[in-house]
Chains A and B, each alone.
Chain A
Amino acid sequence: MSSDELGRPDDPVDAPLRDAYRQLATERAPRHLDNAVLEQAARATQTKARPRLWAWRRPLAWMTMIGLTVAVVLEFSQVPTDLAPASPKNAVSPVGADGDAITTPAASKMEADKARRDRELETMSAPAGANLDQAEPRAPAAVVPDAPTPETALEEPAGSSEKRLREATPQRESLYLAPAPESEAAACDDTARADPERWRACIERLVAADRAAEAVMETVLYREAFPDAPMPALVR
């Protein structure tokens, strides 16, 4: 504190002046003002104070609004994701031209079974030692009664052979995909189906009788029932 600070012996307000002022300044605050001020203070303290959390009402409101907005945005952004497959097991199979998706594992299994049956039938209809590409033109011969043999196919014009193939292919596919009629499925009875040897002989009889559709269906059933048993000879 410097030397000119008040309250020191060198205080500019000396004792005579201070005494004179003290003798002069003797007024007191009016009583009615005292009452008014104290009453105002009492009212102020009686007024219920806002809780401290009240000060957070505005930040809380903003935080709530932002949180709700984010939640809504995330909810809408996840809608397509929820429809997508959650795992490879539920992978969508784009089967059909209309876009209908079969998402069940059973459908996938059905498709796999169908592809396997196709390969087996092609293998069965192909001659021994020939691959699938070579057997492709010959496959209709197993199911089409009047299909030309490789020798006759060579003698015929190319256009005639292709025409036959085009005519035979839808028929073959229909045989593969369409369920067999009950009368044809019953070509081999249950007794024959119980024994692979007898069932195979039955299928060969159907082939010999030119009942190709029945033979194919029985072969499929035979293959499913006895996957390890020898395949019947489907070619005469």
Chain B
Amino acid sequence: MSLSATSLTDMLCADAALPYPRAMNTPVEDSALMLRFKDGDSSAFEELYRRHNDALYRYFLRLGGDPAAAEDLYQEAWSKIIRARDSYRPTAKFTTFLYRVAHNCFIDYVRRNRRHSQVADVEPDTQPAEGDLPEQVVESRLARERLEVALASLPDEQRDVFLLHEEAGLALDEIAVAMGSNREATKSRLRYAVKKLRAAISEPEVPK
């Protein structure tokens, strides 16, 4: 059964392989595991879960900025994946499917909490507040902290695109599918996000 499911998934997702190495396992194997779980194999789901659990948790943690909300969203997303196993079709990468569900969970969370939507409409300050940091602090730690602040200051859409790219390892087209957007908008958001984050981790200019 697993062999046939793997073969089917290979055929359906053969063109979906990315030209660069990914942190996650190949989506073909993910889809096969999901099909096995669909047939009642709980161990397949456990393996699939171990591949994506930490990345998905960090996605929610960075996206919402609230650990409690991240846990709720995390559990809600996996519950939807479990319930949707009967209707799952390996027509796309499992990672795209997983993060589309996760993105929709976050959108629902934003709609329930207006604060996020209001923040998304406002262009945040691109310069993190790093002036109060002491000079003797290690530069790497400074950079991480500035990145943390800069990432939290990004608009939700830009932060979402960046996290889908870095945590989920999705390409532009896949990010567009997961977010229900188009490729050009996704590309633009990623460029803006990267520009702001790169500026944040750079050594701040000392005003003369």
Contacts and interface: CB of A to CB of B under 8 A. Distances in A.
B107 interface: no
25 contacts: A5-B172, A6-B20, A6-B171, A6-B172, A6-B190, A8-B19, A12-B190, A12-B191, A12-B194, A13-B194, A17-B198, A17-B201, A24-B147, A28-B54, A29-B53, A33-B53, A36-B75, A37-B49, A37-B78, A37-B82, A40-B79, A41-B37, A41-B42, A44-B83, A45-B40
A41 B172 contact: no
Given A4-B187, A16-B201, A45-B42, A33 B74 contact: yes
Interface string B193-208: 0100110010000000
Interface residues of A, number: 33
Contact of B82 (A12, A24, A44): A44
Contacts of A38: 42, 45-46, 49
Given A14-B198, A17-B197, A42 B20 contact: no
A25 interface: yes
B140 interface: yes
Contacts of B16: none
Interface of B: 18-20, 37, 40-42, 45-46, 49, 53-54, 56-58, 61-62, 71, 74-75, 78-79, 82-83, 85, 140, 143-144, 147-148, 151, 162, 165-167, 171-172, 187, 190-191, 194, 197-198, 201
Interface in A1-58: 1, 4-8, 12-14, 16-18, 20-21, 23-25, 27-30, 33-34, 36-38, 40-42, 44-46, 49
Interface on chain B toward A: helix, strand, loop, or mixed SS?
helix
Contacts of B18: 7
Contacts, number: 106
B40 A49 contact: yes
Interface string A130-168: 000000000000000000000000000000000000000
